[in-house]
Structure 1
Amino acid sequence: MTDPALHATILLAKDQTGRVGADRIALLRAIRDGGSITSAAKVVGLSYKAAWDAVQVMNNLFDRPLVLPAAGGKDGGASPITEAGIAVLDGYAVAETELASAMARIEASVSNGLSLKPLLWGIGMKTSARNVLRGTVSQVTPGTIDAEVTLAVAEGVEIVATITRGSAEDLGLVPGAIALALIKSSFVILARGDESLRTSARNTLAGTVIAREDGAISSEVTLELTLGKTLTATLTKESADALDLQIGTRALALVKASHVILAVE
């Protein structure tokens, strides 16, 4: 029996924005079975960092975290999957079964040489921005040219973006709308402590350092803002050392509103 010519890949979407595909589902299953990100990374053939990053992406894209990662890197201990994570796996399994039947019917009906590839392209989105957080628009303050949009990404955690008024209207950004906040890690400035500072940055987000990776010149530091919601910053290793940003350190992430990009489905 030959393989069918037409294949499909499932992307689970939460309110059309939080997407998890087959590769991340495989990682999620491995975490469920092995109980840790370290063991799961070995099963799916990823480095620990790649697996850990994927977990942060999944947690940031859903209302509730799918995995509770242990702080401290690959030696940090167990990382249990949550009830929300189990629900995602169950939903994906049902969708896989239904999709297999649907694709068989579609393939049988395509007999005139029509290519479905252009029709199916674009179902997923990838971005170079290190931080992608899903949230709900809580407030829009329009100006003559620009608009200030406030996105609630978790209870008590809001991100403010400044975009053109025309862009806000084109994207349909009104209170209650679902959107993604994209922030490059190089746009995140870190400071020690957890008390608000007087700065020109519109966003001041308090968190705890849960991961740090050093290179020859730069360091990548990840803060947990609240349960399952993280923000990653890239800074010089010299600066990370000077601030003594170790696991468990309280720190502030400063982000200018103009450095936040908003996206919708």
Structure 2
Amino acid sequence: MADDVLTAVLSLRRAGSRVGAERIALLEAVAAEGSITKAAKVLGLSYKGAWDAAQALNNLFDRPLIQAQAGGAKGGAAELTPQGQAVLTAFRKVEAELGGVIARLEAGLGGADIGELFWGLGMRTSARNALRGTVSAVTDGAVNAEVTLKVAEGLEIVAIVTRDSVRELDLAVGKPAIALIKSSFVTLAVGEGIRTSARNQLRGSVISREDGAVNSEISLSLADGKSLAASITLESARALELAPGASVWALIKAPHVILAVE
């Protein structure tokens, strides 16, 4: 567990001090306040912003960092898991050590900003869903390859990428990778006996539903604390009667899954 925590913490730190600090601040606020709503108020965030950040953190680690129940504007109980506490402690220790190292490096570079020099390491994506996992299988083809990513126990996501991408990203069994999925690429279905050509058929339950004038954003709970966001039409959300607690299938075509490595 210690190695996993350190790797994840360094990944957060490489993503840029601003991004890392914001997420660590959320962990600290949840630990202190005991709810997402109160943590959001302390940090000056909207409830949705804080909830989305908590879900993103849980998706990027092998085990959930925050255990929470959606309570909306009225609040719901939340606490850090042992993994969350370990990450929080490790991050502060690593940050203190790296702070001294970076200061010495910048002094040696004539005061250049390390963050500006290595901005690419903090790449951020518009994809609503980013789930970190480990490659469990690679099936080679004539042009493309099928890559299976284990993101939780009993939860795998399959992606179709080019053979060149497999080589360039060094995708091999046991290697870590992140699955990026746009929320608009997630199709939802209800009921049993679903027959579809979508390679990924993930079972989940609705955490929340936010309706807009035309579309609805549906947040789903998957296995082992992982979550997924889907953007569908408001008419479809009503027709499927999607409400918190409803059982649903998330369908994702394998070519719609983008793989990234750190």
Query: Please, which moves more after superposition, 67-76 or 245-254?
Result: 67-76
Determine the structure 2 residue equivalent to 1:242. Answer: 239
Determine the structure 1 residue equivalent to 2:102. Answer: 103
Determine the structure 2 residue equivalent to 1:263. Answer: 260
Cα offsets for 1:43-86 (capped at 9, x unmatched) = 11110000000001100000010001203434352011111111
Q: Which amino acid aligns with 1:204?
A: Q
Deviation at 1:15, TM superposition (A): 8.5
Q: Which amino acid aligns with 2:176?
A: I
Q: Is the 8 A contact 1:17 1:134 kept in 2?
A: no
The whole-number CA distance in structure 2 between the counterparts of 1:78 and 1:22 is 23
Determine the structure 2 residue equivalent to 1:7. Answer: none
The whole-number CA distance in structure 2 between the counterparts of 1:261 and 1:74 is 34
Q: Is the 8 A contact 1:131 1:185 kept in 2?
A: yes
Matches within 5 A, 1:84-95: 84-95=83-94
Determine the structure 2 residue equivalent to 1:206. Answer: 203
Q: Is the 8 A contact 1:17 1:180 kept in 2?
A: no
Matches within 5 A, 1:174-185: 174-185=172-183
Among all aligned residue pairs of Structure 1 and Structure 2, give the percentage whose two residues are the same amino acid. 59
Q: SS state of the match for residue 222, structure 1?
A: strand
Structure 1: unaligned runs, 5 residues or longer: 1-11
The whole-number CA distance in structure 1 between the counterparts of 2:101 and 2:70 is 42
Q: Which amino acid aligns with 1:174?
A: A
Q: Which amino acid aligns with 1:231?
A: L
The whole-number CA distance in structure 1 between the counterparts of 2:21 and 2:203 is 33
Determine the structure 2 residue equivalent to 1:253. Answer: 250
Query: Please, which moves more after superposition, 83-92 or 70-79?
Result: 70-79
Q: Work out whether 1:227 is the aligned partner of 2:216.
A: no
Q: Work out whether 1:158 is the aligned partner of 2:156.
A: yes
Structure 2: unaligned runs, 5 residues or longer: 1-5
Deviation at 1:115, TM superposition (A): 6.0
The whole-number CA distance in structure 1 between the counterparts of 2:31 and 2:182 is 30
Deviation at 1:97, TM superposition (A): 2.0
Cα–Cα, structure 1 residues 175 and 17, in superposed 2: closer, same or farther, change >3 Å? farther
Q: Is the 8 A contact 1:72 1:210 kept in 2?
A: no
The whole-number CA distance in structure 2 between the counterparts of 1:237 and 1:114 is 49
Q: SS state of the match for residue 160, structure 1?
A: strand
Q: SS state of the match for residue 79, structure 2?
A: coil
Q: SS state of the match for residue 80, structure 2?
A: coil
The whole-number CA distance in structure 1 between the counterparts of 2:167 and 2:222 is 29
Q: Is the 8 A contact 1:196 1:204 kept in 2?
A: no
Larger Rg belongs to: 1
Cα offsets for 1:186-215 (capped at 9, x unmatched) = 00000113x452101110000010111111
The whole-number CA distance in structure 2 between the counterparts of 1:100 and 1:179 is 27
User: Whose helix proportion is higher, 1 or 2?
Assistant: 2
Cα–Cα, structure 1 residues 107 and 142, in superposed 2: closer, same or farther, change >3 Å? closer
Q: Which amino acid aligns with 1:252?
A: W
RMSD over aligned CA atoms reads 2.0
Q: SS state of the match for residue 233, structure 1?
A: strand
Deviation at 1:16, TM superposition (A): 6.6
Deviation at 1:166, TM superposition (A): 1.6
Determine the structure 2 residue equivalent to 1:62. Answer: 61
Determine the structure 1 residue equivalent to 2:186. Answer: 188
TM-score normalised to the size of structure 2? 0.90
Report how many aligned residue pairs link the two structures: 252
Deviation at 1:101, TM superposition (A): 2.5
Q: Work out whether 1:146 is the aligned partner of 2:148.
A: no
The whole-number CA distance in structure 1 between the counterparts of 2:31 and 2:9 is 24
